[in-house]
Structure 1
Amino acid sequence: MPDGAAAGKEQAENSARGRLAAMLAVALPMILANLTLPLMALTGTMIAGHFDNPAELAGVTLGASFVTMIYMLFTFLRMSATAVVAQADGADDMELVRDTFVRMTLLAVVLGLVLAAPSGLWVPMLLPFFGSGPDVELKAMQYIGIRLLSAPAALAGVIAAGYLLGRRRAISALVLQAAANLINICCALLLVYGLSGGVDGIAWAAVVAEYAGIALALLLIAGAGFPEAPPLSLRRLIDHRHLLRLGYLGRDLLIRSLALLVSQFLMTRFSAIQGTTILAANAILLHLHTLVGYAIDGFAYATQALVGAAIGARDLRRLRETARAAFELAGVTAFAFALVFLLGGREIVVLLTSHQDIAGMAIRYMPWLILLPFVTLWSYIFDGLFIGSTRVREARDTTLLSVAAFAILVFPAYRLLGNDGLWGSFALLMALRGMLLARIWAGLSWEERLTSGR
């Protein structure tokens, strides 16, 4: 082989290794951190799954799903923080990094207080739409009323996670998330089995974990400080240009989150009207799907951070390599989860509940869980590319179109095919999001992709 060809091959191999290493350095800790997130809901589901009363399991799963949907509405805070911090960090603007974190943390605390304070008024108005019956609603209300007391801490924790990810400090995010979930598991076991806390004990354990998590995060971030930034300036902190940018990003990402919230509501609604057994079985499968989503989303989160840094530094090569590595590694992860569910899905379900009718129903629909990782990875990674480059309008519009298609299709599909129709409609929603984003991305030149959307 000629020397030039050998050198070119070696350079390509080094480049491939480099892009995979850069992605894994951020993604692996984020995957592990993400995998701990649904443990808060899974811990409650697993403990409640062994209660004598099936309504308690259904109530906890409904309540946890409800709280998860509400908090999902505010994921725009983390995505905005990650994108802006990553681009500022790539441009070495430490003042903007620090100011963004302070602005958004204050906003998160205010929003959390607004969410928690009147929860006793608005939650009872929404729960009947799930059609789950009075016994299940009562247990769900117990759980939700307690869980939302931690809303200020939970939303501030979202900002801390976005900041750490934007600065590519993924190991710190992992340590904090793992610590919070370990506290949650220990408290849940103590309150439920040690103090006979029941549904209330599961909820209080999550509250303690969320406040402990944000306390640890603030100590870590404040301890590191911002030595390269000038003193904090109130004038700059309330600068209308920065506030407007965050406002535009937040608006579009909030609309995107609202649309996804509608899809989650419809999934829960059409599960609940099929009865307690289907509701509980689908809840278990959705928790497992969320587990897969958090794993693949680890690559999407890493993509947001690395794309943002590449745009801030105007580094076209890094942008290309980030996109390629994200799809390669997400594909491997999707295959691994599908294989786990294919070979061990039955054992996983039995671990989560001792009720044979619920377990049997969950196993009946396990094939959808095996298929979904291959369908969803495209929407997750393309989301990471568009959000990292702050092209959030495209992420918003494609999500709106996909959820509209899901909302139109789900009722006739459910009437025709039952629960299979429900899961098939959900799979179509995820596939459509990925296809629409892929088409837009393919129409952009690399220079356009390197340009910040806002």
Structure 2
Amino acid sequence: MTEEIVSARRIFGLALPALGVLAAMPLYLLLDTAVVGRLGATALAALGAAATVQSVVTTQLTFLSYGTTARSARFYGRGDRQAAVAEGVQATWVALGVGAILMVLMWVFAGGIARFMTGSEEVARLAAEWLRVAALAIPLTLVEMAGNGWMRGVQDTRKPLLFTLAGLIPGAIAVPIFVYFWGILGSAAATVLGMGIIAACFLRELHREHEGDWRPDRGVIGKQLVLGRDLIVRSLAFQVAMLSATAVVGRFGTAPLAAHQIMTQLWNFLTLVLDSLAIAAQTLIGAALGAGHSAKRVGQRILGYSAGFAVALAVVFAVGASLIPRIFTQDSAVLDAVTRPWWVMVAMVIAGGVLFALDGVLLGAGDAAFLRTLTFASVILGYLPGVFLAYALDWGLTGVWAGLAAFIALRTVGVVYRFKSMKWARKEL
């Protein structure tokens, strides 16, 4: 049974569709960035600030995906598929309730948030307009996260890919059309369209699969939130880092902020590509622990695949250093700002091959408390010092990305140590 669990066919059978899901949104955002970039550096900077805020708001609740996967996979490993699906019902209630609150808060505070994130009144005005329209997508995005969570738990990563494509393809077609007619607001409207279709697909699948009670279950939601508490703190550490970086870069000027937007979207794409194997690790390790099988070999196999893939990605981005940024802008100032931090990002990709694989192993085992502590410590000791030194000493965008590299390095050392200790392999959450 253990051999079957860790077979390459099974791992990649889960990872490849997950790769499609994980890569689809960053690819969409890259297209969005490229289209808005044709409006000029001001619009691109506004999108950079606004997209960072939107990402903070939605990804703060990553436990709707990762925590739900860990719990659903345990039930699935024990042979109780209905209990695994029921986790998705309760996670969806959380998504709708929290999403509605966040949507209203964004409508109210978009102006103040945008002014904090940028150093230009015009950039802030455009960013606030984008945020108010895109706020409609917040609860839809959280429903998608919950849907991905329970479906990964029951080892179905194919349908989530189909659902994602069903929404993002129409959204991608709409981006250039909407932006042509409505400017940067068209970008936000296309996002709402795409996410609405995806959320509807997940809700339909949940209705088809679930056979039990649809009412909110305080007991199940409470257990999800206990696991989610540590993942929320972990996500908060990520978001503090990204917000502080964007806020500091915004003080360096429009060109560095536009360059930071390009690099951030590329980095998000690269890390989510690497995370596809981590999704397989979450699903298979959760099921293995639920069934009482060894999970160590799963992690070892995925670590090997992920490290090799990361080296290949780093080579591609090293060779394309002078070409890839030009896909998104022809502005000479923005291209110049990208040049030096680009090589920091390339080095980060190699370390990320180890980091994201083992991060997935620990998430699948529900080792959220350790990941919370490690991430928070890495932000305090690595990222924030680098970012604020970059601002104080005028190191520019390169200094900010050096801080991110320190953050990645500290986390990599931590997850390697934890994996070797085997303290994460608990049978119960």
Q: Which of these residues, 411, 425, 432, is aligned with residue 403 of structure 2?
A: 425
Q: State how far apart, in whole Å, the 2-side matches of 1:400 and 1:17 are.
A: 33
Correspondence 1:49 to 2:37: yes
What is the match of residue 305 of structure 1? Answer: 283
Q: Which moved more, 1:267-276 or 1:213-222?
A: 213-222
Q: Which of these residues, 284, 291, 302, is aligned with residue 262 of structure 2?
A: 284
Q: State how far apart, in whole Å, the 1-side matches of 2:278 and 2:337 are.
A: 32
What is the match of residue 387 of structure 2? Answer: 410
Q: How far off its partner does 1:399 sit?
A: 0.8
Q: How far off its partner does 1:243 sit?
A: 3.2
Q: How far off its partner does 1:127 sit?
A: 2.5
- 1:353 alignment partner, SS class: coil
User: Structure 2: any 5+ residue segments left out of the alignment?
Assistant: none
Q: Is the 8 A contact 2:387 2:400 kept in 1?
A: yes
Q: Which moved more, 1:285-294 or 1:333-342?
A: 333-342
Cα deviation per residue 1:8-66 (whole Å; 9 max; x = unaligned)? xxxxxx95995322211111111122111112322221111111x42111111221122
Cα deviation per residue 1:170-224 (whole Å; 9 max; x = unaligned)? 111211122222111111122123xx1211111100001000111122223433x
Correspondence 1:122 to 2:109: yes
What is the match of residue 451 of structure 1? Answer: 426
Correspondence 1:198 to 2:183: yes
Cα deviation per residue 1:332-376 (whole Å; 9 max; x = unaligned)? 221121111111232221111122221232234321221111122
Identity %: 23
Cα deviation per residue 1:410-432 (whole Å; 9 max; x = unaligned)? 32244443332211111010110
Q: Structure 2 counterpart of 1:200, which letter?
A: L
- TM-score, with structure 2 as normaliser: 0.94
Q: Which of these residues, 79, 85, 94, is aligned with residue 107 of structure 1?
A: 94
Q: Is the 8 A contact 1:86 1:308 kept in 2?
A: yes
Q: How far off its partner does 1:128 sit?
A: 2.7
What is the match of residue 22 of structure 1? Answer: 10
Q: State how far apart, in whole Å, the 2-side matches of 1:97 and 1:136 are.
A: 45
Q: How far off its partner does 1:129 sit?
A: 2.6
What is the match of residue 309 of structure 2? Answer: 333
Q: Which of these residues, 141, 157, 162, is aligned with residue 170 of structure 1?
A: 157
Q: How far off its partner does 1:233 sit?
A: 7.1
Q: State how far apart, in whole Å, the 1-side matches of 2:340 and 2:349 are.
A: 18
What is the match of residue 204 of structure 2? Answer: 219
Q: Is the 8 A contact 2:118 2:251 kept in 1?
A: yes
Q: Is the 8 A contact 1:90 1:313 kept in 2?
A: yes
Q: State how far apart, in whole Å, the 2-side matches of 1:436 and 1:86 are.
A: 25
Report how many residues are paired.
Answer: 427
Query: CA 1:449 to 1:118, structure 2 compared with 1: closer, same or farther past 3 Å?
Result: closer
Q: State how far apart, in whole Å, the 1-side matches of 2:386 and 2:176 are.
A: 42
Q: State how far apart, in whole Å, the 1-side matches of 2:27 and 2:133 are.
A: 18
- Provide the aligned C-alpha RMSD in A: 2.1
- 2:213 alignment partner, SS class: coil
Alignment of 1:317-356 (within 5 A): 319-356=295-332
- 2:335 alignment partner, SS class: helix
- 1:346 alignment partner, SS class: coil
Alignment of 1:75-154 (within 5 A): 75-154=62-141
Q: Which of these residues, 224, 227, 238, is aligned with residue 217 of structure 2?
A: 238
Q: State how far apart, in whole Å, the 2-side matches of 1:63 and 1:130 are.
A: 8
User: Structure 1: any 5+ residue segments left out of the alignment?
Assistant: 1-13
Q: Structure 2 counterpart of 1:23, which letter?
A: I
What is the match of residue 414 of structure 2? Answer: 436
Query: CA 1:311 to 1:175, structure 2 compared with 1: closer, same or farther past 3 Å?
Result: same
Q: Which of these residues, 257, 264, 285, is aligned with residue 235 of structure 2?
A: 257
Q: State how far apart, in whole Å, the 2-side matches of 1:97 and 1:18 are.
A: 21
Q: Is the 8 A contact 2:5 2:298 kept in 1?
A: no
What is the match of residue 195 of structure 2? Answer: 210
- 2:366 alignment partner, SS class: coil
Q: Is the 8 A contact 1:130 1:273 kept in 2?
A: no
Q: How far off its partner does 1:121 sit?
A: 2.0
Q: Is the 8 A contact 1:414 1:420 kept in 2?
A: no
- TM-score, with structure 1 as normaliser: 0.89
Q: Which of these residues, 340, 344, 358, is aligned with residue 368 of structure 1?
A: 344
Q: State how far apart, in whole Å, the 1-side matches of 2:4 and 2:152 are.
A: 23
Alignment of 1:381-392 (within 5 A): 381-392=357-368
Q: Is the 8 A contact 2:230 2:372 kept in 1?
A: yes
Q: How far off its partner does 1:450 sit?
A: 3.4
